[in-house]
Amino acid sequence: MQTCTGIGCAVVDCAAQGKPSTTVSGTVLAPNGTLPLYGVDVYVPMSDPGPFTAGVQCGNCANGLPGGAFAQALTDENGHFVLSDVPATGNVPIVIQVGKWRKQITVPAVPACRDTALDAAATTLPRNHTEGDMPEIAISTGSADALECLVRKLGVDDREITTDAQPGKVHLYNGNGASTFATGFAGGTGSFPAATTLWNSLDKLSNYDIVLFSCEGGQHPETKSQAAMQAVHDYADKGGRVFLSHWHNIWVGGDKDDAQHGLADWQQIADFDYGAAQNETVQATFIDEDHNPKGRAFADWLGNVGGSTVRGEIMVNDPRYTCQAVDPDKAQRWVYVDPARSVPLGKTGVQDMVFTTPQSEHELDRCGKVVFSDMHVSAGSTSKPGTPYPGGCSSDPLTPQEKALAFMFFDISSCVGVLQ
C-alpha cells in the first residue's frame, strides 16, 4: 500500500460513503477573459512546480507536469475542466498551464464529496507577468498581416508589448510593417529593432519560447540568408515554437526563385505553388477531422466560440493558396480548401498546418512545433511603416479566422507528442 504525502493524505474515498467525488471545476479563458481554451492542463501539484527555466526548452510531453500531480485534467471543447479526487482540505493549490502560460491559485477550502466551482477571474490566463507566468514572445511585423494586433485582442496587456531592450514579455521587431510605438502607448517606446536581428541569430531566437512572423507581402529572400534559415530551423529543433504567416512560406517551402535557398528537410514537408491565383475575397474552408487527432475537438471548439456556423467550416477572408498539400507522415493539415466544395470549384490549398521538430527524430522524441498559415488575420487590422503601433489594430470582435488562429496560437505552446 502506497503511503500518502502532504495534502494527498486529505483525499477522501467518497465512493465508499456512497457520495460523489471531491471535485474542483471551472472554465479556462484566454487573457481577454472571454475566449475559452481547449487542451489546457489543470492540476493539483504534489510539490511546488518552481519557476520556469528562461529561454527555449525542449517541450516534449514525456517531461511531465512540473511538481507532479495529485489530480489533473485537460480542458474540453468548452474550456471546461473537472478535477476529481481532489484533497478535501484548506489552501489547495491549483495550477493552470499550457506551455509557459501559467496561473497558480490557492483554493481556501475544498469540502469533501462535492464540487467546488471556481470563478472565471481565477481561471483566466495571465494578462501580464504580475498575474502569473507568460512565455517570452517575439513578433516580426509585416506589411500584409498584423499578428502583433492579434495578441492584443487575445488580452495581452499593453504594458507587456515592448522592444527587446524594454521589460515586456512580447517584443516587436520590424519586418516591413509597423516600426515604432505610438506616443503615449502604455507599453514600449521608440523604434523596433530590425527583424533580421532576431532571425539571423540562434542565440537571439533562443531567448524566446514563441516567435511569430507576420506576412511581408513577399518572401523577401534578401533579408533571410541561408544562415538565418538555419538559425530558425535549429531554434525549432531545440524546442522553439514558430508561427509563420503566408509569404513566410520561404522558411518551409524555400525561395521561390532559388531552389538552393531553403531547408532540405522542411522542404519535404509540404508542396507549394507560389504562383497560385488568389482572386477570391472569401472562401469556405474546412477543418480536417479525419486525419488530425485534434480535428474533431477543433471543430467542436470553433462552433462553441462562434467561429463556425456550419460544423467544421470556416469562412476565410482574403484566402491564400500557396500551400497546396502536406505529407501526412511529416505534418498535420488543420484547415484546407476542398476543390469539390470551393467557389469557384477546383480551388485547393492548405490554410493551416503544423509539424514537429527535429524532423530527423522519432515523433515521440521531438521538441518543437512549427505552424504555417496561409490565413491572414484580416480583420481590419493593418501594419504599415508609417502608422505607429497600435494605430493599425482593429478593436472589432474576433473574426472566425482570428478565432481559428487563436486556437493554434495557444496550441503551439502545448507539449509535443505524436504529431500534435
Per-residue pLDDT reduced to its tens digit, 162-209? 999 999 999 999 999 999 999 999 999 999 999 999 999 999 999 999
pLDDT of residue 417: 82
Residue 38 has pLDDT above 80, yes or no: yes
The three three-digit cell numbers of residue 372, written as one number: 504555417
Residue 298 has pLDDT above 60, yes or no: yes
Residue 378 has pLDDT above 70, yes or no: no
For residue 1, what pLDDT band results from cuts at 50, 70 and 90? low
At residue 198, φ and ψ (nearest 5 deg) are -85, -60
Residue 420 has pLDDT above 50, yes or no: no
- SS3 assignment, position 379: coil
Share of residues in the chain with pLDDT > 90 (%): 95
Contact (Cβ atoms closer than 8 angstroms) between residue 245 and residue 147: yes
What is this structure's pTM?
0.96
C-alpha span between 379 and 397 (Å, rounded): 9
What number of other Cβ atoms are within 10 A of residue 40's Cβ?
29
- Torsion, CA 108, CA 110, CA 111, CA 112, rounded to 10: -150
> H or E element: which one contains 93?
strand 90-98
Reference 71, options 41, 101, 104, 109; nearest CA is 41
C-alpha span between 89 and 91 (Å, rounded): 7
List residues bridging with 104 in a β-sheet: 95
C-alpha span between 160 and 229 (Å, rounded): 28
List residues bridging with 314 in a β-sheet: 285
DSSP codes, 224-240: S-HHHHHHHHHHHHHT-
pLDDT of residue 419: 42
- SS3 assignment, position 295: helix
| Beta-strand runs (E) in 28-143 | 41-45, 69-74, 80-84, 90-98, 101-109, 115-117, 137-140
C-alpha span between 246 and 383 (Å, rounded): 15
> H or E element: which one contains 173?
strand 170-173
What number of other Cβ atoms are within 10 A of residue 231's Cβ?
21
C-alpha span between 288 and 325 (Å, rounded): 12
Crossing angle (nearest 10°) for helices 295-304 and 400-411: 130
Across residues 51-55, what is the average pLDDT? Answer: 96
Q: Per residue in 102-144, pLDDT tens?
A: 999 999 999 999 999 999 999 999 999 999 999 999 999 999 9
pLDDT of residue 377: 81
3-state helix, strand, coil in the chain (%, to 5): 20, 30, 55
Share of residues in the chain with pLDDT > 70 (%): 98
For residue 88, what pLDDT band results from cuts at 50, 70 and 90? very high
Peptide linkage before 344 cis (omega within 30 of 0): yes
- SS3 assignment, position 365: helix
- Torsion, CA 379, CA 385, CA 387, CA 390, rounded to 10: 60
Reference 325, options 312, 314, 338; nearest CA is 338
Residue 152 has pLDDT above 70, yes or no: yes
| Angle subtended at Cα 360 by Cα 134 and Cα 272, rounded to the nearest 5 degrees | 80
pLDDT of residue 3: 83
pLDDT of residue 380: 79
Across residues 306-330, what is the average pLDDT? Answer: 96
For residue 379, what pLDDT band results from cuts at 50, 70 and 90? low
What is the pLDDT of the chain when averaged over all its residues?
A: 96
